[in-house]
């Protein structure tokens, strides 16, 4: 461990010294950028409850992490890498993660970016309709910095634009599922408790390449976009080998198409946003297969305002309207918790900045009136200097039942602390 710390400290020192040297070298300093951070991040469960055979006891997450961001650009060509090295105290082992690594070229008014990249679409705040890219909910629920909610994807992206309309077309040949909180760390609901599991990801075949497109522009002050996606659900659908006495459950990822739109702009003294999406469950459009999610219509409306200096309030209302609900109810195995036909969710974000914006106190709250569950994320973050910040984040879950999305995590309330030195 000490060796790792010494190694990382020397890399930071080297980066600092080489940055000043690069001004004198052949490579122009403007074209080469070196940044990164050293970070410690620990997250403890505070409820006293644990799953059976917990992997890290009450330590849901704990690591020291070093990130190096290298960028190089020359005229119409650009390379960028974001690479993390870390020591994981839950698994007790060092690790390596490539967060981004891509090459990008410009031809005329088009850019082509190929490689590992992080993609974000839509106008929701922690609510995603047309943002169909992979998420890491385990990272989110355990108080990791919010950028780790995003799972990088290996993809090719074509970006074309004029001043009026732009388009992004993404091809993802390698399927990446959402990462859910692990069963060995988080106490959670499992409808097939104790049954062996296997995962069946879409095969890497040409016809399984996911395609996503976004057409967007700003008109009359409103950022408006249309979205198309053809690919797969990223949350696993559970397929038991027998409904009555299953011995094996297969996690599958049924085919999905999404057609959607969003808009966002100034109105009513703040910023309003709206987004809709039609989720077309291509493998079960009639809704007869209980192991495949039904098609649905999803919507959200949001409003954000600053009532006084350095204080911001954000509100969102989200809904999922399931199609073929009768077929869903008719085929749902007995004993399984049923989802509402119109699942709804509200969110509230409060942020107050103090001391020339160096101290941030915030709360993000999810509440579902249909699931009757909630998830609260209080946060305090202080920038000690331009390079050093420290934060404490809580994750508080609860609900009337332990079978709903947030309610199932009620035994996992946790508190995370993070210290980061940026360079």
Partner 1 sequence: MKTLIAFCTTLPLILMTTVGQPSAAVASDAMEIIQKSQAAFFEAGQDLKARIKMTLMTREGQQRLRELTMLRKNFPAGEQKYFLYFHSPADVSGTIFMVYKYPVKDDDRWLFIPALNLVQRVAARDSRSSFVGSDFSYEDVSGRDVEADIHQVLRTEALGSRQTVVIESVPTREADYAKKVSWIDQVTFLPLKEEYYDVQGALYKVFTADEIRDVQGLPTATKRTMTNVKTGHKTDVVLDAVAYNVGLGDEIFTERALRRPPEKWLK
Cβ–Cβ < 8 Å for 78, 33: no
Provide, rounded to whole angstroms, the least separation between the CB of residue 173 and partner 1: 20
Cβ–Cβ < 8 Å for 114, 103: yes
Provide, rounded to whole angstroms, the least separation between the CB of residue 251 and partner 1: 28
Radius of gyration of the chain, Cα coordinates, nearest whole angstrom: 23
Provide, rounded to whole angstroms, the least separation between the CB of residue 22 and partner 1: 14
Nearer to partner 1, 198 or 306 (CB): 306
Nearer to partner 1, 120 or 203 (CB): 120
What whole-number distance in Å separates Cα of residue 242 and Cα of residue 59?
36
Provide, rounded to whole angstroms, the least separation between the CB of residue 38 and partner 1: 11
- How many other C-beta atoms can be found within 10 angstroms of the C-beta atom of residue 258? 19
Nearer to partner 1, 105 or 369 (CB): 105
Provide, rounded to whole angstroms, the least separation between the CB of residue 224 and partner 1: 10
Provide, rounded to whole angstroms, the least separation between the CB of residue 346 and partner 1: 18
Query: In which residue are the tokens 């006891």 written?
Result: 57
Nearer to partner 1, 166 or 289 (CB): 166
Among the listed residues 272, 273, 315, 323, the one whose alpha carbon sits nearest the alpha carbon of residue 298: 323
What whole-number distance in Å separates Cα of residue 389 and Cα of residue 46?
24
Nearer to partner 1, 303 or 317 (CB): 303
Nearer to partner 1, 174 or 423 (CB): 423
Taking CA atoms, 392 is separated from 60, 86, 197, 199, 419, in Å, by 15, 20, 35, 35, 9
What whole-number distance in Å separates Cα of residue 163 and Cα of residue 165?
6
Provide, rounded to whole angstroms, the least separation between the CB of residue 306 and partner 1: 5
Provide, rounded to whole angstroms, the least separation between the CB of residue 122 and partner 1: 10
Provide, rounded to whole angstroms, the least separation between the CB of residue 111 and partner 1: 6
Determine what percent of the chain falls in helix, strand and coil, rounding each to the nearest 5.
Answer: 10, 55, 35
- How many other C-beta atoms can be found within 10 angstroms of the C-beta atom of residue 122? 22
Nearer to partner 1, 248 or 267 (CB): 267
Nearer to partner 1, 213 or 353 (CB): 353
Provide, rounded to whole angstroms, the least separation between the CB of residue 37 and partner 1: 8
Nearer to partner 1, 141 or 233 (CB): 141
> Which residues bind to partner 1, rule: CB under 8 A?
30, 35, 37, 73, 109, 111, 118-120, 146-147, 150, 159, 161-163, 166, 216-218, 221, 223, 264-266, 269-271, 273, 304-306, 308-310, 312, 353, 356-358, 383, 385-387, 389, 420, 422-423
Q: Any idea of the CA torsion for 414, 197, 368, 295, to the nearest 10 degrees? A: 150
Nearer to partner 1, 166 or 341 (CB): 166
SS3 for 214?
Answer: strand
Burial 328-339 (b: 16+ CB within 10 A, else e): beebeeeeeeeb
Could you write out the three-class secondary structure of 349-366? EEEEEECCCCEEEEEEEE
What whole-number distance in Å separates Cα of residue 127 and Cα of residue 315?
12
């Amino acid at each position: 461990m000490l060796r790792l710390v010494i190694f990382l400290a020397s890399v930071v020192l080297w980066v600092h010294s080489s940055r000043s040297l690069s001004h004198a070298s052949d490579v122009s300093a403007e074209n080469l950028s070196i940044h990164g951070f050293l970070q410690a991040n620990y997250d403890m469960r505070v409820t006293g409850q644990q799953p059976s055979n917990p992997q890290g006891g009450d330590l849901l997450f704990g690591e020291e992490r070093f990130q190096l961001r290298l960028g190089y650009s020359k005229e119409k060509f650009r390379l960028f890498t974001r690479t993390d090295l870390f020591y994981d105290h839950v698994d007790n082992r060092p690790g390596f993660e490539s967060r981004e690594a891509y090459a990008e070229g410009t031809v005329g008014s088009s850019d082509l970016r190929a490689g590992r990249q992080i993609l974000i679409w839509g106008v929701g705040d922690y609510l995603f309709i047309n943002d169909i890219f992979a998420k890491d909910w385990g990272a989110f629920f355990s108080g990791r910095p919010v950028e780790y909610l995003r799972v990088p994807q290996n993809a090719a992206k074509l970006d074309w634009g004029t001043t009026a309309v732009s388009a992004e077309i993404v091809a993802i040949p390698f399927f990446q599922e959402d990462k859910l909180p692990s069963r060995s760390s988080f106490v959670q609901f499992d409808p097939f408790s104790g049954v062996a599991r296997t995962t069946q990801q879409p095969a890497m075949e040409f016809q399984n390449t996911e395609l996503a497109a976004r057409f967007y522009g700003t008109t009359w002050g409103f950022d408006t976009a249309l979205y198309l996606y053809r690919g797969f659900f990223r949350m696993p659908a559970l397929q038991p080998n027998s409904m009555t006495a299953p011995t094996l459950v297969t996690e599958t990822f049924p085919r999905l198409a999404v057609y959607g739109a969003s808009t966002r702009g100034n109105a009513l003294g703040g910023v309003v946003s709206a987004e809709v999406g039609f989720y077309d469950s291509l493998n079960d459009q009639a809704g007869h297969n209980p192991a495949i999610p039904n098609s649905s219509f999803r919507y959200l409306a949001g409003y954000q305002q600053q009532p006084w200096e350095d204080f911001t309030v954000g509100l969102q209302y989200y809904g999922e309207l399931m199609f073929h609900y009768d077929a869903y109810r008719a085929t749902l195995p007995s004993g399984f918790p049923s989802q509402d036909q119109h699942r709804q969710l509200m969110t509230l974000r409060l942020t107050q900045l103090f001391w020339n914006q160096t101290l941030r106190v915030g709360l993000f709250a999810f509440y579902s009136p249909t699931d009757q569950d909630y998830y609260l994320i209080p946060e305090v973050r202080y920038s000690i200097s331009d390079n050093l910040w420290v934060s404490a984040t809580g994750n508080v879950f609860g609900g009337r039942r332990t079978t709903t999305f947030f309610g199932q995590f009620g035994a996992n309330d946790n508190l995370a602390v993070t210290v980061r030195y940026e360079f």
